[in-house]
Structure 1
Amino acid sequence: MLRRWTLAAVAAATLAMVAPPAQAAWPERPVQIIVPFAAGGGTDITARLLARFLDRHTGGRGVVVINRPGAGGEIGMAAGAEAAPDGHTLTILNTPNVLTIPIERSARFRLDSFVPLANLVDDPGTLSVRTDGPIATLPELIAAMRARPGALNYGTAGVGSAGHIAMLLTGRAAGATAEHIPFSGSSAVATALIGGQIDVATANFGEAIGFAGGSGGHGSWRILGVMSPARLATHPDIPTFAELGLPVQTGSLRGLGAPRNTPPATVAEIIRALDAVMADPEYQAAMAGATQVIRYVKGEDYARLLSGMESELRALWAATPWNR
């Protein structure tokens, strides 16, 4: 009996020495989420709400948001792409920036520098005008642009921004043009529209609805339409561009990426945690309260979504380079 137990113990010890060590469950330590823009904007809100609930559903080890603004998002996204591929540094991926920056210039990252984990938010593009101006609908705006090519002007948050791309796509679909006036951010665009310095303002829906005072038309601000596949449940009175005759769907998708070569097992753990966050009623309520339109697309479906958008933007770049 003693010999049998001794042999069993030796066998167990031998197996322990040759067996590979079990991979530690993710996360082993606090997770960082890099936001490639300054604090206080829509992307920052997306990240901070995610961080709070991701921490809840991963054992409370800590999820910290790190703002790394600059160069239209390039600095932060490059830092995320170059981080250790262990799942403890994740990056908010914004469209169009994660796609347009590598198209227009040599950058320290490309789309394939990341493992696309999941899209979280779809903040569709909008066009807005003053309520006391001569234009009250999107068809009226397109008619004016066609009648006087380049006479109207529009403001964006900068060259290559979501609003700039949205307006270029709109112009291409409508066969019309307007003069681009870039600003330092959406707040400056709003000030210019209300002050009468520009004819049209571009903004993502979350920003535009705030400028409009929580409705489609309030005070001096009128939203002409949203560039989403369907009307938004929170504001069903605002029409889509498609139903107004322009098949334009764009805006700012906000997703989460991990550095390339992150182990598949770790990727699966992160996505399981995101599944739990998305199913949390408190998270859903918090997002709705912050005008963050949830669009959860994960894994390969998210990768295909980004790849399709990249192809569309490359075609747009070939026809109308947006840095000119």
Structure 2
Amino acid sequence: MRFKPLAAAVVTALSFTALPGWAAWPDDKPIEVVVGFAPGGGTDLMARKLLPFVQRRLGPNAQFIVVNKPGAAGELANGYAARAKADGYTLAVVNMPSFFFVPMTKKSQYQPEEFQLIARVVDDPTVLAVRAESKFDSLQALVTESRQRPGSVSLGHNGAGTNGELAIHLLGRAAGVQLNPIAYKGTAAQKTDLLGGHLDVALVSAGELPELHGGGKGQVRGLAQLMPKRTDVLPQVPTATEAGLQILMSSERGFAAPKGVPADILKRLEQAIAEALKDPEFLGTSTDDKVISFLPGAQWQRSMDQGRKALLPLADSHPKN
């Protein structure tokens, strides 16, 4: 009889572990994935298209919920994620170079060191896009106009520290011209103004604008892509180097978690993302398929550290907030 209380305690403990609240990650509750840009942009679409395929590889009870917190080039979303509990139930979609550049130029709501990179998904060329009927038929024509009428050419970007904003600064310095940068909360808003004739040039990532790939019935043209050589995704678009301007800038997008998430969870996520990116069904529906460039978290961290060093001179001359 003296063993009955112990047996009862064991049964009680086992019954509690069977309750949903005691389930192991990722079955316990939905995983919140925070996106720092508005719905409909490249970052948002990448996450929403890929995550169902990642979810399948984490088990039948895994569930992702995408939460958009646009503003300040991803700073609001990154700050929110950095303050979250490091339990694997809050992830961030991070964008390079803004992820590390924003804290280099201001007192931001987060620091890159507060995160662990999980995996890079895409490395997307930055492109200068214009309406099909734009008077600019080349990057050199845009530069010539800017020399003759300083500040007359409007160029859109997705916020301070984003690849588009940095590219505008690099273009102005390389060409010795004054440009008119205009900040947007996302690529969707840029595209609306570009097609509506309210914006001269959109600085976007190639994968964010299907119109550049023949998906928009010739509504948009690419003036230049900011890569060392023409890429497979935009073989018809010349590089800035071909116009005599040494400007290189791409947009990397992937997933990160608050520092302290258990290593086994990070490994499962990294592996699930790597497998999802090879899924034929995902590749058949994704507009990012030509710019997919997977990197494991540790390797992406090393690449990010190199990129941060390369942009130090630009950060030193960048307006401080």
- Give the TM-score taking structure 1 as reference length: 0.79
Provide, for residues 11-53 of structure 1, a one-character-per-residue CA deviation record: whole Å limited to 9, x for no partner: xxxxxxxxxxxxx985353433222233332212111222101
State the distance in 2 between where 1:86 and 1:198 align.
Answer: 43
User: Structure 1 stretch 47-56 or stretch 25-34: which is displaced more?
Assistant: 25-34
Paired AA for residue 304 in structure 1: R
Q: Is the 8 A contact 1:145 1:151 kept in 2?
A: yes
Paired AA for residue 39 in structure 1: P
SS at match of 1:166: helix
Q: Quote the sequence identity (%).
A: 33
Residues 234 and 251 of structure 1: CA distance in aligned 2, closer, same or farther (over 3 Å):
closer
Q: Is the 8 A contact 1:39 1:67 kept in 2?
A: no
Provide, for residues 211-238 of structure 1, a one-character-per-residue CA deviation record: whole Å limited to 9, x for no partner: 78526x824x321122235434344222
Unaligned segments of structure 1, at least 5 residues: 1-23
State the distance in 2 between where 1:187 and 1:48 align.
Answer: 15
Match of 2:64 in 1: 64
Unaligned segments of structure 2, at least 5 residues: 1-22
State the distance in 1 between where 2:160 and 2:229 align.
Answer: 27
Residues 164 and 53 of structure 1: CA distance in aligned 2, closer, same or farther (over 3 Å):
same
Indicate yes or no: 2:92 matched with 1:91: yes
State the distance in 1 between where 2:136 and 2:87 align.
Answer: 52
Provide, for residues 163-222 of structure 1, a one-character-per-residue CA deviation record: whole Å limited to 9, x for no partner: 22221122223333312233454344334444444432222223334378526x824x32
Match of 1:15 in 2: none
Match of 2:33 in 1: 33
Paired AA for residue 77 in structure 1: N
Give the deviation of 1:298 after TM superposition.
1.4
Give the deviation of 1:119 after TM superposition.
0.8
Match of 2:55 in 1: 55
State the distance in 2 between where 1:223 and 1:67 align.
Answer: 31
State the distance in 1 between where 2:123 and 2:31 align.
Answer: 24
Q: Is the 8 A contact 1:126 1:208 kept in 2?
A: no
SS at match of 2:223: strand
Give the deviation of 1:255 after TM superposition.
0.8
User: Structure 1 stretch 40-49 or stretch 126-135: which is displaced more?
Assistant: 126-135
Give the deviation of 1:120 after TM superposition.
0.5
RMSD between superposed Cα atoms in Å: 2.9
Match of 1:240 in 2: 239
Residues 283 and 189 of structure 1: CA distance in aligned 2, closer, same or farther (over 3 Å):
closer
State the distance in 2 between where 1:93 and 1:48 align.
Answer: 14
Provide, for residues 61-120 of structure 1, a one-character-per-residue CA deviation record: whole Å limited to 9, x for no partner: 223123141432222212222222232322111123322332233223111111111111
User: Structure 1 stretch 71-80 or stretch 185-194: which is displaced more?
Assistant: 185-194
Indicate yes or no: 2:308 matched with 1:310: yes
Match of 1:104 in 2: 105
State the distance in 1 between where 2:242 and 2:63 align.
Answer: 41
Match of 1:262 in 2: 261
Give the deviation of 1:275 after TM superposition.
2.3
State the distance in 2 between where 1:59 and 1:192 align.
Answer: 42
Paired AA for residue 295 in structure 1: S
Give the deviation of 1:291 after TM superposition.
6.4
Provide, for residues 129-171 of structure 1, a one-character-per-residue CA deviation record: whole Å limited to 9, x for no partner: 3443432012332343345543433233344443222211222
SS at match of 1:74: helix
Match of 1:275 in 2: 274
Paired AA for residue 54 in structure 1: V
State the distance in 2 between where 1:213 and 1:279 align.
Answer: 24
Paired AA for residue 88 in structure 2: G
Residues 282 and 197 of structure 1: CA distance in aligned 2, closer, same or farther (over 3 Å):
closer
SS at match of 2:236: coil
Paired AA for residue 222 in structure 1: R
- Give the TM-score taking structure 2 as reference length: 0.79
Match of 1:210 in 2: 211
State the distance in 1 between where 2:129 and 2:115 align.
Answer: 34
Match of 2:151 in 1: 150
Q: Is the 8 A contact 2:206 2:233 kept in 1?
A: no
State the distance in 2 between where 1:78 and 1:237 align.
Answer: 39
Structure with larger Rg: 1
Task: State the number of aligned residues.
Answer: 297
Q: Is the 8 A contact 2:226 2:239 kept in 1?
A: yes
State the distance in 2 between where 1:133 and 1:40 align.
Answer: 24
Residues 34 and 95 of structure 1: CA distance in aligned 2, closer, same or farther (over 3 Å):
same
